[in-house]
Amino acid sequence: MKTIVMTGGTSGLGEIAAREIRAAPNTRLIIGARRNAVGKVETISLDLARLASVREFAKVVIEKLGDAEIDGLVLNAGTQFPTIDHRTEDGFETTFGVNVLAHYLLLRLLIPKLARNATIVITTSDTHDPDKNPMGPKQFEIETLAHPPKLRKPTGFSAGFRAYAASKLGDLLIARGLAASGEAKTKNFNVVAYNPGLTIGTYLFRAWPLWARIAMSAVSLVRPFAHMNTVKMSGDTLAELALNRITPQPGRIYASLNNRKLEWPEPSELARRDELVERLWRESARMVGFTD
């Protein structure tokens, strides 16, 4: 029996992936979410905006598994806001707190339960690359992202989108750090940072301002002609990666689904900086309460 633990499996492309994973022979799927997943899927309460909830979720998972190990870990949940004025229970800017710090903590807590040859998939985005997205991060100041300075006026949509793009860079750095770790080399982990590409129809855009949602709706009308990814296509690919039916090319961990084709390109220049990987892991450990 193969066991896969997943976040972000109750809506959008994550729900599609969860159904495919659940249907795989001899596979047990455990989803962490604030609400029960659709169908007979084992769901454990998890609120990624609360680090205490992340710790409790990891504890419950470990207790439920007993002597069994985790063969697949899918960190797919993500959030995006039209501003950077929201804060988690622990005081972090919510986009960074949920997309980066919560998943970093969950990964660290579950690493000891990961089986040899386990697959870890972390969902990222090509918005992290300023060569593809004009609002992509050109620098990565972790403390500023976690605790943006307070401004007199509310921040706008561009600030929220920039925070999201930066958080997706953070997810890539988490994946690179894991792939380079002693645990990954000793136990031969299969690490993938997955970019599902622009996928119209997910719930990620629900917090966008009205004008931006209208624009995305207009884009959806030309999707069939522009070879854009569908939610099912992006979700199916995530499942294939999680089930190890698609494996990385040698020396690559960044899987990018664009124009309905999965490729293994180089991520952005910032994502390739080893010192930035080390800094993210060190600073994230401090922020979530690890002392090593």
Q: Are 20 and 236 in contact (CB under 8 A)?
A: yes
DSSP label at residue 204: G
How many Å apart are CA 182 and CA 79, to the nearest integer?
Answer: 30
Arch. (CATH architecture) of 2-288: 3-Layer(aba) Sandwich (3.40)
Provide DSSP, 93-138: BHHHIIIIIIHHHHHHHHGGGEEEEEEEEEE--GGG-TTT-TTS-S
Q: Are 194 and 255 in contact (CB under 8 A)?
A: yes
| Mean pLDDT in consecutive groups of 10 residues from the start of the chain, 292 residues | 96 94 96 81 95 98 97 95 91 97 98 98 96 92 94 73 95 98 97 88 57 50 57 96 94 93 96 97 96 68
Looking at residue 22, what is its pLDDT? 95
Using alpha carbons, select from 268, 277, 273, 272 the residue that is nearest to residue 130.
Answer: 268
Looking at residue 71, what is its pLDDT? 98
Q: Name the residue ranges covered by the structural domains of the chain.
A: 2-288
Beta strands in the chain (DSSP E): 2-7, 27-33, 42-45, 70-75, 114-123, 190-195, 254-258, 261-263
Looking at residue 111, what is its pLDDT? 98
How many Å apart are CA 184 and CA 44, to the nearest integer?
Answer: 26
Looking at residue 106, what is its pLDDT? 98
Taking the CA atoms of residue 17, residue 6, residue 282 and residue 158 in that order, the dihedral angle to the nearest 10 degrees is 50
Using alpha carbons, select from 137, 204, 196 the residue that is nearest to residue 167.
Answer: 137
